[in-house]
Amino acid sequence: MATVKDFNWDKGMTVSELVARFGHIGFQSIELAKASETIVKMKKASAKIYLTFTSNMVTSGLRGFFAQLIALGMADVLVTTAGAIEEDIMKANGEKFLVGDFSAHDVALYEKGVNRVGNIYITNEQYARLENAMLPMLSKLYGKEKRWAVSVLLREIGLMVNDPCSILYQAARHEVPIFCPAITDGSLGFHLFLFQQKHPDFVVDVVADFRNILLSSSHDDVKGLISLGGSISKHHAILACLLNGGLDYAVYMTTARHTSGSMSGATTSEAKSWGKVKDDSDAVTVIGDVSITFPLAMVRALEVLSSEGVVKNA
């Protein structure tokens, strides 16, 4: 059994050394260090890695990190929400989101046409420009096919995007499918609705895409999950893996608590009662802000994997 050790700073300390020392501090520091090691293990085991995240993480600067991880081969399947897709497109088109304040006067922001996501601001004008970007994309897709599974639609959109920092861009070029089961839950869904009013035979088929995610792995595959936040993106990947025998590796990172009984707060331990995570799996739940915990855990994992030649620089 490991012992608690006092933490000390050393000049020139690497992220890998920092996170390794977390493993002896206690509390969530230990869980974060375990999460990083689990990511290393799943990659070394050649697991099919499912990376899931919610839209607020794409609102933040994690968006470019997700794109880089795709290029580095650290994600084989993505599951996310409509807001993540639309904001990835917005940023790819040059939109800049401002850093604001958690305690801002929200009524005043509303009157100025500013929408607050935590301490990040997005303007109504930026959403209006998204509509201008979506129409030619949808028109081009409609000219090719009338019925689209969501992941196929997103791959085609990714091929139209010209920004290496884009999740859609990297996923399309590295053949990493993006599943978005709630694609109508956002501005993107509204644009799809408006387009369909003029083109009633244009169909985005969510059920067909459920088949696609079920076929993205098999019982024979080693499967790993890195779930950031919760919601439908987390459950959709877990459900697909459950129907294919369950997960061999799982890392959950969330601010939600298990006492709520929610999917967002459900731990990897709770998942074992459903067979979502195998009894003998390497699984860990980290409670904390993903904008802090995930970069630390993943950068340490990348440093280890890079030093061993498992991951090469993109």
What is the spatial distance between Cα 301 and Cα 307, in angstroms, rounded to a whole number? 10
Count the Cβ atoms, other than its own, within 10 Å of residue 17. Answer: 13
**278 catalytic per annotation:** no
How far, CA to CA in Å, does 218 sit from each of 215, 221, 236, 243?
7, 5, 16, 9
Burial of 106 (0-12, 13-18, 19+ CB in 10 A): exposed
Which amino acid is located at 236 in the chain? H
| Phi and psi based region of residue 101 (left: phi greater than 0; alpha: psi -120 to 50; beta: remaining) | beta
CB neighbourhood size of 239 (10 A):
17
Q: Which of the following is catalytic: 43, 48, 91, 276?
A: 276
**What is the set of active-site residues?**
276
